[in-house]
Amino acid sequence: MLSKRLLEELNLQIKYELYSAHYYLAMAAYCASEDLSGFENFFKVQAEEEKFHAMKFFDFVNEMDGTVKILGLEEPENDFESVTDVFKKALEHEKFVTSRIYKLMDIATEEKEHATISLLKWFVDEQIEEENSMKSILTRLERMGENSHGLYMLDQELSQRVFTPPVDSEN
């Protein structure tokens, strides 16, 4: 059974995952306004991933006989200076999410809540992937600077991204 403290933090994490989806949709909207449909696609797919993460926590809380509480979301930032700015903010946001996962892991470890630890191990690995993805694209954007040809090549590459739920998503 989940402690009150852990249940509150898991419900808060559901909120943060849903907020992440909203934030990435705001980034997708910015990219669309800049006629960068590949970058728009990247962030739409990212939003789908975040909704999947929220539902993974949602299902877990229910499986543990906890009560999911859906909390309100703040309005995400909608104004960006450039696509590079978007990725700087996306990386910053992923680092925040990573800190949240670590906080949950610390609580679960302290409480010896092994089922939650098992779930969170998946999220720890996922956050490594999320941060690396954002860092990699940001690095490429910073290297290309004002090179519009490079920007459009990267835009084309990102247009190919699709969301496929992980096969081991039952964890």
CB 106 within 8 Å of CB 56: no
pLDDT at 167 exceeding the cut of 90: no
Query: Which residue ranges form the domains of the chain, and what is each CATH number?
Result: 4-158 (1.20.1260.10)
Start-to-end CA span in the chain (Å): 17
pTM for this one? 0.94
Buried b / exposed e over 125-144, threshold 16 CB at 10 Å, is: ebbeebbebbeebbebbeee
pLDDT at 171 exceeding the cut of 50: no
Q: What pLDDT, in 10s, does the model give residues 49-103?
A: 999 999 999 999 999 999 999 999 999 999 999 999 999 999 999 999 999 999 9
